[in-house]
Amino acid sequence: MVLLGFEDETWLYLRPYITNTYMMKGDQQNIFHNGANKKINAFITLLYPSNKVKFKISKSRTSNDFIDHLKNVKCYVKNNRVKRFILVIDNASFHVSRKTKDFLNKQAQWLTVIFLPIRSPNLNPVETRVNRNLKKDICANHNYQTEGTLIVAVTKYLKSIGSWQRL
């Protein structure tokens, strides 16, 4: 069995993402925040065409974090006896770093990596199907006091989309 997945990552900020909302004519709603502008990163891999996601939330966005995420994918592939996993990724610095390339070369048995053309997020369905809605639904007009509360909200939302099932 061969599976196709698209990978992307997104920053999620504690500072509220301001979007339009309903309020009485003449009023303007205030959304308070405590000035902290911390952020978390979510690595998201979308299984195509079932649109189920596998994700890893981290505080940084480095080659090591990306490799950790790939290890999670590897566990799934090994446990479900998938012959080959085709992963489509963009050309972010931590995707093309020497450390990541070394790791990817060692995974050639089960993993095929396809790099998207540079500056073409329109070819990556994760951007439109997951990241955009995640920011709109979770981060919009809401002040999360701590990183922990934001992580809980993001995890709950991504789990509601549906996680990869056992084959």
- Which residues of the shown chain bind another protein in the complex (CB under 8 A)? 16, 18-25, 28-35, 137-143, 156-157, 160
User: DSSP labels for 81-148?
Assistant: T-SEEEEEE---TTTSSHHHHHHHHHTTTTEEEEEPPTT-GGG-HHIIIIIHHHIIIIIBT---SSHH
8 Å CB contact between 72 and 54: yes
Minimum CB–partner distance for residue 95 and another protein (Å): 29
Query: What's at 64, amino acid-wise?
Result: N
64 or 143, CB closer to another protein? 143
Minimum CB–partner distance for residue 164 and another protein (Å): 20
92 or 138, CB closer to another protein? 138
Instruction: Kindly report the number of other CB atoms within 10 A of residue 10's CB atom.
Output: 20
Minimum CB–partner distance for residue 93 and another protein (Å): 31
Minimum CB–partner distance for residue 123 and another protein (Å): 27
Query: What CA–CA distance (Å, rounded) separates 82 from 76?
Result: 8
Tokens standing for residue 78 = 């090994």
Minimum CB–partner distance for residue 5 and another protein (Å): 23
51 or 79, CB closer to another protein? 51
* SS3 state of residue 59: coil
Q: Is the dihedral of CA 113, 122, 8, 5 positive or negative?
A: negative
